[in-house]
Amino acid sequence: MTILTTERLRLEPFDERHLDGLHAMNRLPEVMRFITGKPETLEQTRAAIEVVKGRWAQYGFSWWAFVERGTGRVIGA
Protein backbone atom coordinates (compact mmCIF):
# COMPACT_ATOMS: atom_id res chain seq x y z
CA MET A 1 0.00 0.00 0.00
CA THR A 2 1.32 3.43 -0.93
CA ILE A 3 1.26 6.09 1.78
CA LEU A 4 2.35 9.63 1.00
CA THR A 5 3.50 11.91 3.80
CA THR A 6 4.05 15.59 4.36
CA GLU A 7 5.23 17.32 7.50
CA ARG A 8 1.62 17.51 8.70
CA LEU A 9 -0.35 14.84 6.80
CA ARG A 10 -0.47 11.19 5.74
CA LEU A 11 -2.32 10.41 2.53
CA GLU A 12 -3.38 6.79 2.52
CA PRO A 13 -5.83 4.66 0.54
CA PHE A 14 -9.24 4.53 2.21
CA ASP A 15 -10.18 1.42 4.15
CA GLU A 16 -12.37 0.44 7.12
CA ARG A 17 -10.20 2.21 9.69
CA HIS A 18 -11.19 5.53 8.09
CA LEU A 19 -14.94 4.87 8.40
CA ASP A 20 -15.62 7.00 11.47
CA GLY A 21 -13.57 9.95 10.23
CA LEU A 22 -15.03 9.90 6.73
CA HIS A 23 -18.57 9.54 8.04
CA ALA A 24 -18.03 12.44 10.47
CA MET A 25 -17.51 14.62 7.38
CA ASN A 26 -20.00 13.01 5.00
CA ARG A 27 -22.90 13.21 7.46
CA LEU A 28 -22.72 17.02 7.41
CA PRO A 29 -25.11 18.78 5.01
CA GLU A 30 -22.61 21.58 4.32
CA VAL A 31 -19.97 19.04 3.25
CA MET A 32 -22.29 17.03 1.00
CA ARG A 33 -24.18 20.00 -0.45
CA PHE A 34 -22.31 19.97 -3.78
CA ILE A 35 -21.35 16.29 -3.81
CA THR A 36 -24.60 14.32 -3.56
CA GLY A 37 -26.86 17.01 -2.15
CA LYS A 38 -27.62 15.18 1.09
CA PRO A 39 -25.78 13.74 4.09
CA GLU A 40 -24.70 10.10 4.05
CA THR A 41 -25.78 7.40 6.47
CA LEU A 42 -23.11 5.26 8.09
CA GLU A 43 -24.01 2.42 5.73
CA GLN A 44 -23.63 4.67 2.68
CA THR A 45 -20.18 5.72 3.86
CA ARG A 46 -19.25 2.09 4.48
CA ALA A 47 -20.43 1.17 0.96
CA ALA A 48 -18.45 4.06 -0.54
CA ILE A 49 -15.29 2.80 1.14
CA GLU A 50 -15.88 -0.64 -0.38
CA VAL A 51 -16.21 0.93 -3.84
CA VAL A 52 -12.98 2.88 -3.32
CA LYS A 53 -11.15 -0.25 -2.13
CA GLY A 54 -12.28 -2.02 -5.29
CA ARG A 55 -10.94 0.80 -7.44
CA TRP A 56 -7.59 0.65 -5.65
CA ALA A 57 -7.46 -3.09 -6.31
CA GLN A 58 -8.52 -2.78 -9.95
CA TYR A 59 -6.72 0.38 -11.07
CA GLY A 60 -4.02 0.96 -8.48
CA PHE A 61 -5.41 4.38 -7.57
CA SER A 62 -8.53 6.01 -6.15
CA TRP A 63 -9.43 8.32 -3.26
CA TRP A 64 -7.00 9.09 -0.47
CA ALA A 65 -7.73 9.66 3.21
CA PHE A 66 -6.02 12.84 4.42
CA VAL A 67 -4.96 12.05 7.98
CA GLU A 68 -3.35 14.46 10.44
CA ARG A 69 -0.10 12.88 11.52
CA GLY A 70 -0.22 14.38 15.01
CA THR A 71 -3.76 13.25 15.84
CA GLY A 72 -4.57 10.41 13.44
CA ARG A 73 -7.79 12.25 12.57
CA VAL A 74 -9.24 12.09 9.04
CA ILE A 75 -9.53 15.69 7.87
CA GLY A 76 -10.28 15.23 4.19
CA ALA A 77 -10.51 13.01 1.16
The residue extents of the domains of the chain are: 4-76
Query: pTM for the whole thing?
Result: 0.87
What pLDDT sits at residue 49? 97
Distances (CA, A) of 19 to 6, 33, 63: 22, 20, 13
DSSP β-bridge partners for residue 5: 10
How buried is residue 35: exposed, middle or buried, by Cβ count under 10 Å (0-12/13-18/19+)?
exposed
Average pLDDT over residues 3-31: 97
What pLDDT sits at residue 1? 79
What pLDDT sits at residue 30? 96
Torsion of CA 45, 33, 36, 59, to 10 degrees: -70
Local confidence band at 51 (pLDDT 50, 70, 90 cut-offs): very high
Question: Right CATH number for 4-76 from 3.40.630.30, 1.10.10.10, 3.40.50.920, 3.90.1150.10?
Answer: 3.40.630.30
The answer on pLDDT for 31 being more than 90 is yes
The answer on pLDDT for 60 being more than 90 is yes
